[in-house]
Structure 1
Amino acid sequence: FSCFAVSGSGMYFTWIKDQANVWEFAWPIFVMVFAFPFIGPSNRSMYTTALHSKPELDGTMGIMLGLINQAMSLGGMIAPALAAAFVLRSPQEIDASSNKHELTKGAWYVPIISLLIIIGLLHHYFSVKKREQEEAADGNGENTASETSKLLSSTKKGRGASKLLSSRKKGASRRSSILQINQSFSRKSVVNRSLSVEVNGMMNPFDTKAEMESQKQLLKDKKEWEEFMEDAENSYLINNNDNIQSLSVT
Structure 2
Amino acid sequence: MVLTNSQFALLSLALVGIVDSVSYMVVTPSLIFYIEQAHGSNKQYGIILSAFSFASFCAKPVLGIWVDSAGNKFRLPYLTSIVLASLGGFLYFYASAFADNTSTAIGMILAGRILGGFGAANNALGFAYVASVIPSKDQTKMNNLLSMMRIVGMAAGPGFNLLLKDINTTVTIGGRTIVVDSLNSVGLFLVASNIMGFLFIFFLLKEPGKKLHKKHSSMNAAGEVVEEDYTEEETSQWAFIKGICTVEILLPLFTIFVFNSNFQLIETGFAPAAYHALGWGPVQTSAVLGSTSIVIFVNMVIVGILSDRGVRDEIMVMIGSSSWIFGGTMLYFMWVANTEAWKFVLPVVVSICGFPFIAASNRSLFTRRVDAHPALEVRHAFMQALLSMFASVAGFLTPSFVATFVLRESEEVENSQFHRELNPLALYIVIGPILTVLGVIYVSVFKPLEIEVFEDEYNVTGTEEEAGERTSLVPKGRASVAGRSSSKVLTQKVDQFTEANRRMSVQVMGIPQFDHANEDKRRSSVFAQLTISQPEEGVEVAYNPYD
Question: Could you say whether these structures have the same fold, taking a TM-score greater than 0.5 normalized by the shorter chain as the test?
Answer: yes
Alignment of 1:113 with 2:432, yes or no, is: yes
Closer, same or farther: CA 95–181 of 1 in aligned 2, 3 Å: farther
Q: What is the Cα deviation at residue 58 of structure 1?
A: 3.0
Closer, same or farther: CA 77–234 of 1 in aligned 2, 3 Å: closer
Q: What is the Cα deviation at residue 120 of structure 1?
A: 2.0
Residues in 2 aligned to 1:153 and 1:106: alpha-carbon distance in whole angstroms = 59
Q: What does 1:7-156 align with in structure 2 at a 5 Å threshold?
A: 7-18=327-338, 20-129=339-448, 148-150=454-456
Residues in 2 aligned to 1:14 and 1:233: alpha-carbon distance in whole angstroms = 64
Hey, what does 1:230 align to over in structure 2? 527
Q: What does 1:178-197 align with in structure 2 at a 5 Å threshold?
A: 179=494, 186=501
Q: What is the Cα deviation at residue 61 of structure 1?
A: 1.3
Q: For residue 492 of structure 2, what is the amino acid of its counterpart?
A: S
**Alpha-carbon contact 1:5-1:110 (below 8 Å) kept:** yes
Hey, what does 1:161 align to over in structure 2? none
Residues in 1 aligned to 2:376 and 2:525: alpha-carbon distance in whole angstroms = 30
Deviations 1:96-153 (A, max 9, x none): 3334111111111111111121122233334543xx65xx6xxxxxxx5x5x443698
Deviations 1:66-107 (A, max 9, x none): 111222122122222111112111112222333411111111
Alignment of 1:177 with 2:492, yes or no, is: yes
Closer, same or farther: CA 70–232 of 1 in aligned 2, 3 Å: closer
Closer, same or farther: CA 150–108 of 1 in aligned 2, 3 Å: same
Residues in 1 aligned to 2:394 and 2:499: alpha-carbon distance in whole angstroms = 29
TM-score, normalising length from structure 2?
A: 0.28
Q: What is the Cα deviation at residue 233 of structure 1?
A: 7.8
Closer, same or farther: CA 235–92 of 1 in aligned 2, 3 Å: closer
**Alpha-carbon contact 2:337-2:421 (below 8 Å) kept:** yes
Closer, same or farther: CA 106–65 of 1 in aligned 2, 3 Å: same
Closer, same or farther: CA 222–70 of 1 in aligned 2, 3 Å: farther
Hey, what does 1:194 align to over in structure 2? none
Secondary structure of the corresponding residue to residue 62 of structure 1? helix
Closer, same or farther: CA 15–39 of 1 in aligned 2, 3 Å: same
Closer, same or farther: CA 182–78 of 1 in aligned 2, 3 Å: farther
Q: CA RMSD in A?
A: 4.1
Q: For residue 443 of structure 2, what is the amino acid of its counterpart?
A: H
Q: For residue 35 of structure 1, what is the amino acid of its counterpart?
A: G
Closer, same or farther: CA 4–62 of 1 in aligned 2, 3 Å: same
Deviations 1:5-31 (A, max 9, x none): 01110011111112x210001111111
**Alpha-carbon contact 2:328-2:347 (below 8 Å) kept:** yes
Higher relative contact order (CA 8 A, sep 6+): 1
Residues in 1 aligned to 2:512 and 2:438: alpha-carbon distance in whole angstroms = 29
Residues in 1 aligned to 2:401 and 2:381: alpha-carbon distance in whole angstroms = 30
Residues in 2 aligned to 1:79 and 1:185: alpha-carbon distance in whole angstroms = 44
**Alpha-carbon contact 2:335-2:343 (below 8 Å) kept:** yes
Q: What is the Cα deviation at residue 228 of structure 1?
A: 1.6
Percent of pairs with identical residues: 23
Q: How many residues align?
A: 181
Closer, same or farther: CA 234–107 of 1 in aligned 2, 3 Å: closer
Closer, same or farther: CA 82–235 of 1 in aligned 2, 3 Å: closer
Alignment of 1:3 with 2:323, yes or no, is: yes
Hey, what does 1:200 align to over in structure 2? none
TM-score, normalising length from structure 1?
A: 0.57
Greater share of strand = 2
Closer, same or farther: CA 153–116 of 1 in aligned 2, 3 Å: same
Q: For residue 150 of structure 1, what is the amino acid of its counterpart?
A: D
Residues in 2 aligned to 1:109 and 1:59: alpha-carbon distance in whole angstroms = 35
Closer, same or farther: CA 100–234 of 1 in aligned 2, 3 Å: closer
Unaligned runs of 5+ in 2: 1-320, 461-476, 479-488, 534-547
Secondary structure of the corresponding residue to residue 17 of structure 1? coil
Q: What is the Cα deviation at residue 185 of structure 1?
A: 7.3
Q: For residue 67 of structure 1, what is the amino acid of its counterpart?
A: L
Unaligned runs of 5+ in 1: 137-143, 155-170, 191-206, 208-214, 237-250
Q: What is the Cα deviation at residue 177 of structure 1?
A: 3.4
Closer, same or farther: CA 80–232 of 1 in aligned 2, 3 Å: closer
